C-alpha cells in the first residue's frame, strides 16, 4: 500500500496479552486532520468506544492508538480510566489534547486493560513511526484473524489525485449493526469532519453493515476515517459536491473491499457467500431477508456441507418476518434457477449447481416477488473450524 501524506505508522509488542507478536498500533496525523467514525450500537459498548463517541463531535484527530488482546469492555469505571490514561499519555508525547487521540481495543471482554504496558510502549512506538508500514500495522491489530487486511484506492477530487488507505481486523463476533470490527481509513484529502462523517455513515451502511459471520455484534466495533488535508484540491463543502463523486465511489468501494475481507476470514470460514435479495417491499426489507438467510445456522451448515439445500433458504425467508409471496418466490444458486413460483423447478440441471457449491465463492439470489426493494449482503459458511476456535478461545 502506498504512503498517505501526513500519516505515520508504527507497531510494537507491548505484551498486553499475546507473546511474541506485535499488539499495539499507532497512527499519527498532522495538526488540522479531521475524523469521522461509526461505532457499535451495542448497549454494553467498551470503554474505547465510549471515549471515541465523546470526542468525535469535535472532529479533530492527531492520532489513533489501538491494542489487540484485550477489549477493555465491561470493565466499569476502572476500564474507562485505563483508556483515558493511555490517551493522555499519547497526547502528552505528541503535544496535543487528549480528545484528539482516538482509541480502539480488541480481544477478551471483561478483563481490565493493563494501561501501564500501553503507556510504557508509547516512546518506542513513536520512535518507530514511518509512512510505509501498513501491512505491519494490520498485523498488530489481529486477534483470531488468519491474515492481515487492507485496501487502497487511488481517486481524484476535481482533477487532483488523492489516495485512500484502510486497514481492518475482524473474524468472529461479526454482525451488522455498526460496524462489527475495527477499521481505520486514512486519506490525504482535505475534507471537513461533517462531510467525512456523512460519507462514512453512508458507506458503512452498504459495506460493514451488510456483513455477518455469526450474528454476534461486538462491544467494540469501530470504523474511523481520517483526512490529513495534505493534498491541495478544489475545496470540499458538502458530501453532495459533484467533484467529490469519484472520491465517494472510491471510498465505498474500499469499505466494501475491507468488509468482504473480513467475511472471507470469518472464523472457520471456507466459503464466501454473496446473497442478493430482490423483489422485496423495500431496500430495508430486502436487507432483513438477506440477513435472515445469512445468519441461519441451517443455511450456513448446508453451505459448509456443499449441499444446495434451498429449502432452508425458503425457511429463512419465512422467518425474517418481512413480506414475501410464498407462491412467487424464486431462488437461483450459482446463477441456476432451482425454485420458481413457490416450488422446485422440476428437472433443473443439478450438475452446475453441485459444481458451484464445491467452489469457494457461493452466490445465492432470491426474489421474493412483492416489490422492487433490493439488497446485497455477505456471509460465510458455518464449519467445524468455528466450533474449534470458539470452544477454546480463552484457554
390 marked among binding-site residues: yes
By CB under 8 A, residue 390 contacts its own copies: yes
Question: 19, 95, 327, 347: which one contacts its own copies (CB under 8 A)?
Answer: 327
Question: 29, 178, 317, 330: which one contacts its own copies (CB under 8 A)?
Answer: 317
Only one residue has cell 423495500, namely 282
By CB under 8 A, residue 358 contacts its own copies: no
By CB under 8 A, residue 307 contacts its own copies: yes
Is 75 buried (19+), middle (13-18) or exposed (0-12) by CB count in 10 A?
Answer: buried
By CB under 8 A, residue 311 contacts its own copies: yes
Question: 16, 89, 113, 329: which one contacts its own copies (CB under 8 A)?
Answer: 329
364, β-bridge pairs: 275, 333
Using the minimum distance from each CB to its own copies, give the nearer residue, 136 or 381.
381
Phi, psi of 186 (to 5 degrees): -130, 140
By CB under 8 A, residue 393 contacts its own copies: yes
Question: 13, 53, 276, 323: which one contacts its own copies (CB under 8 A)?
Answer: 323
Query: Least distance in Å: CB of 239 to its own copies?
Result: 28
Question: 245, 319, 355, 361: which one contacts its own copies (CB under 8 A)?
Answer: 319
Residues 135-174 that bind its own copies (CB under 8 A): 172-173
34, 106, 180, 278: the catalytic one is 180
180 marked among binding-site residues: yes
Question: 68, 295, 375, 379: which one contacts its own copies (CB under 8 A)?
Answer: 295
* Cβ contact 330:366 at 8 Å: yes
CA distances from 390 to 173, 179, 266, 384, 385 (A): 10, 21, 12, 10, 9
Interface mask toward its own copies for 253-292; x: CB under 8 A:
----------------------------------------
Whether residue 301 lies in the annotated active site: no
Give Cβ neighbours of residue 178 (< 8 Å, ≥ 6 apart): 38, 39, 40, 41, 204, 208, 209, 221
271 marked among binding-site residues: no
* Cβ contact 246:155 at 8 Å: yes
SS3 call for 136? helix
Q: Which stretch binds its own copies (CB under 8 A): 66-74, 119-127, 231-239, 249-257?
A: 66-74
Query: Least distance in Å: CB of 75 to its own copies?
Result: 6
Query: Least distance in Å: CB of 387 to its own copies?
Result: 5
Q: How far apart are CA 237 and CA 24, in angstroms?
A: 35
Torsion of CA 383, 386, 391, 395, to 10 degrees: 140
Only one residue has cell 493511555, namely 86
Residue 156, C-alpha cell as written in the block: 481524484
By CB under 8 A, residue 344 contacts its own copies: yes
* Cβ contact 140:131 at 8 Å: no
Query: Least distance in Å: CB of 76 to its own copies?
Result: 4
Radius of gyration (Cα) for the chain, nearest Å? 22
Q: How far apart are CA 154 and CA 251, in angstroms?
A: 10
Using the minimum distance from each CB to its own copies, give the nearer residue, 152 or 390.
390
Using the minimum distance from each CB to its own copies, give the nearer residue, 154 or 384.
384
44 marked among binding-site residues: no
Residue 373, C-alpha cell as written in the block: 426493494
By CB under 8 A, residue 342 contacts its own copies: yes
133 marked among binding-site residues: no
Q: What angle do CA 115, 117, 122 make, to 5 degrees?
A: 95
Phi, psi of 377 (to 5 degrees): -130, 160
Residues 189-228 that bind its own copies (CB under 8 A): 214-219
* Cβ contact 213:390 at 8 Å: no
Question: 37, 48, 79, 334: which one contacts its own copies (CB under 8 A)?
Answer: 79
- Name the binding residues for substrate: 143, 169, 180, 267, 390, 395
- Name the binding residues: 143, 169, 180, 267, 390, 395
Known catalytic residues are 180
Amino acid at each position: 500500500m502506498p504512503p498517505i501524506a501526513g500519516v505515520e505508522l508504527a507497531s510494537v509488542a507491548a505484551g498486553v496479552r499475546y507473546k511474541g507478536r506485535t499488539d499495539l498500533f499507532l497512527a499519527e496525523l498532522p495538526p488540522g486532520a479531521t475524523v469521522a467514525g461509526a461505532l457499535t450500537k451495542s448497549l454494553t459498548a467498551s470503554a474505547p468506544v465510549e471515549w471515541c463517541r465523546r470526542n468525535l463531535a469535535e472532529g479533530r484527530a492527531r492520532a489513533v492508538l489501538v491494542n489487540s488482546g484485550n477489549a477493555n469492555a465491561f470493565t466499569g469505571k476502572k476500564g474507562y480510566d485505563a483508556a483515558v490514561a493511555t490517551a493522555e499519555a499519547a497526547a502528552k508525547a505528541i503535544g496535543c489534547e487528549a480528545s484528539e487521540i482516538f482509541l480502539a481495543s480488541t480481544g477478551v471482554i471483561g478483563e481490565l486493560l493493563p494501561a501501564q504496558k500501553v503507556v510504557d510502549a508509547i516512546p518506542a512506538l513513536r520512535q518507530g513511526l514511518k509512512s510505509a508500514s501498513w501491512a505491519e500495522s494490520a498485523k498488530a491489530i489481529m486477534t483470531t484473524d488468519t491474515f492481515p487486511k487492507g485496501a487502497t484506492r487511488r481517486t481524484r477530487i476535481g482533477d487532483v489525485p488523492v489516495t485512500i488507505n484502510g486497514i481492518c481486523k475482524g473474524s468472529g463476533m461479526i454482525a451488522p449493526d455498526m460496524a462489527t470490527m475495527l477499521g481505520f481509513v486514512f486519506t490525504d484529502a482535505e475534507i471537513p469532519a461533517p462531510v467525512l462523517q456523512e460519507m462514512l455513515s453512508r458507506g458503512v451502511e452498504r459495506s460493514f453493515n451488510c456483513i455477518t459471520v455469526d450474528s454476534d455484534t461486538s462491544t467494540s466495533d469501530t470504523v474511523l476515517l481520517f483526512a490529513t488535508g495534505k493534498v491541495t484540491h478544489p475545496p470540499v463543502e458538502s458530501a453532495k459536491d459533484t467533484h467529490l463523486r469519484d472520491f465517494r465511489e472510491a471510498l465505498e468501494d474500499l469499505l466494501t473491499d475491507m468488509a468482504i475481507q473480513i467475511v472471507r476470514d470469518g472464523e472457520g470460514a471456507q466459503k464466501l457467500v454473496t446473497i442478493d435479495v430482490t423483489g422485496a417491499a423495500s431496500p430495508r426489507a430486502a436487507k432483513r431477508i438477506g440477513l435472515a438467510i445469512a445468519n441461519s445456522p441451517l443455511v450456513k451448515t448446508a453451505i459448509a456441507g456443499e449441499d444446495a439445500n434451498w429449502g432452508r433458504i425458503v425457511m429463512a425467508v419465512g422467518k425474517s418476518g418481512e413480506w414475501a409471496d410464498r407462491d412467487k418466490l424464486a431462488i437461483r444458486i450459482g446463477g441456476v434457477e432451482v425454485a420458481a413460483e413457490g416450488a422446485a423447478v422440476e428437472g433443473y440441471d443439478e450438475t452446475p449447481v453441485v459444481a458451484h457449491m464445491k467452489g469457494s465463492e457461493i452466490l445465492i439470489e432470491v426474489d421474493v416477488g412483492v416489490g422492487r426493494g433490493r439488497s446485497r449482503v455477505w456471509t460465510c459458511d458455518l464449519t467445524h473450524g468455528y466450533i474449534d476456535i470458539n470452544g477454546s478461545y480463552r484457554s
